[in-house]
Amino acid sequence: MALAETTRETPLGVGEAQRGGEFGRWVSRHALILLLGVFMMIFPAIANDFFLRQIAGWTMILGMIALSLMFLGGYGGMVSLAQMTVAGVAGYMIAVLGVSSLPKVSFFWPWWVAAPLAIVIAVAFGTLAGALSARTEGIYTIMITLALATSFFYLALQNWPIFNGFNGFTTIPAPHFFGVKWGDPVPLYYMILFFAALSYVVVLYVSRSPFGLALQGVRDNPRRMEAIGYNVTAHRIAAYAFAAVIAAIGGILLVWQNNQISPFSVDVAVVINLLVIAVVGGLGHPIGPFIGAFIYVMLRTFALDALVAVGLDGRRFQTLIGLGFLVIVLFSPDGVVGLWRRWVTRVGATNGRSGR
């Protein structure tokens, strides 16, 4: 794995290991993320249902959908605002094809038919979004994908036969199989953890695969990519398809967690929030979106109480989120991941000096 070893793919790593075998080095380089993994595994033992669902579950789901944005933006240089909408399409399809409180609208197919179909439809939508925007760059990509996101919001809002308009769908159950009620807090938590960890590892792995490297080549210099034999447009569209799979799974988990979906799950404010999450966390590494999602969820959950505690109007919590966004982007354009990398580099340099 010569290629893999050339990377700085571990912003959470603790620097190079000194001694020990291959495995020891690997553990040492990934120490922080492994610790985080262990912590997440035992989290249900120490946390109540509120923390499992409203903090951890929500963080991981938003992180997955933002990861889809990070994959396109960070590796491909394509900032797509359609990723929340891809998740929304998958979520809506689960409600339409599967079970909900609306027997006249929903098909009531079992989850093992509805979920794969929802993913396929959402990926088709995400790929179409890619096909429409792959020939554009920068601000134009943002505009086209924002237009798609807005269109879908209004479609869902105004279409009653399929999307049940303003009301959307409620009482959508999480599935029940292997004798486990996956809607219960702890099973749901582990299901979300499984898919979040899986998508994180897969994105990290794919970033060093021919496909992922080529995507970074397209980001750095699309013209040169053509001149060494790559079909840049095809590569971009394929990246949208790949990213859509992650967003679609995130969208289904979101619906299984909340048991409802409405046009306001995919409105422009949510779309922008997702961009904020990805940028604040950092587009430089797949852990970034999860960090961003955690900051967002914490602010969203506790900012109100914090504001009231210091005698301010609790409804100003959005201002607090906005200010936090401003501060992070001002001081670190590459988000928390960028801050962390600079800190590790500085500490590493200091240690290197004192060691001699």
Partner 1 sequence: MSSIAERMAAAGTGNAIELRGVSRMFGALRALTDITLSVRPGERRAVLGSNGAGKTTLLNCVTGDFPPTSGTVRFFGEDVTLLPPHERIRRGLRRTYQISLLFPRLTVRDNVYLACRGVSRSRFSLIRARASDPIMQSVADLISLVHLEDVTDRLVGELAHGQQRQLEIALALAGAPRFILFDEPAAGLSPNERRDLVAILTALPAHIGYIIIEHDMDVALRVVESVTMMHNGRIFKEGSPQEIEADPEVQQLYLGGGHG
Interface ranges with partner 1 (CB under 8 A) = 1-4, 6, 205-206, 208-214, 216-217, 219-221, 223-232, 235, 238
Count of CB atoms situated within 10 Å of the CB of 319: 13
Q: Which is nearer to partner 1, 148 or 243 (CB)?
A: 243
Q: Which is nearer to partner 1, 76 or 88 (CB)?
A: 76
Rounded CA-CA distance 16/169 in Å is 51
Residue ranges of the alpha helices (H) in the chain? Answer: 2-5, 22-29, 31-46, 49-50, 58-70, 83-97, 111-133, 139-158, 185-206, 210-220, 222-227, 232-258, 268-281, 288-309, 317-331, 335-355
Report the nearest approach of partner 1 to the CB of residue 242 (Å).
8
Q: Which is nearer to partner 1, 221 or 301 (CB)?
A: 221
Q: Are the CB atoms for 73 and 207 separated by under 8 Å?
A: no
Q: Which is nearer to partner 1, 126 or 185 (CB)?
A: 126
C-alpha separations of 67 from 112, 182, 184 in Å: 25, 24, 25
Report the nearest approach of partner 1 to the CB of residue 29 (Å).
15
Report the nearest approach of partner 1 to the CB of residue 245 (Å).
11
Q: Which is nearer to partner 1, 5 or 305 (CB)?
A: 5
Report the nearest approach of partner 1 to the CB of residue 190 (Å).
26
Rounded CA-CA distance 69/276 in Å is 11
Report the nearest approach of partner 1 to the CB of residue 217 (Å).
5
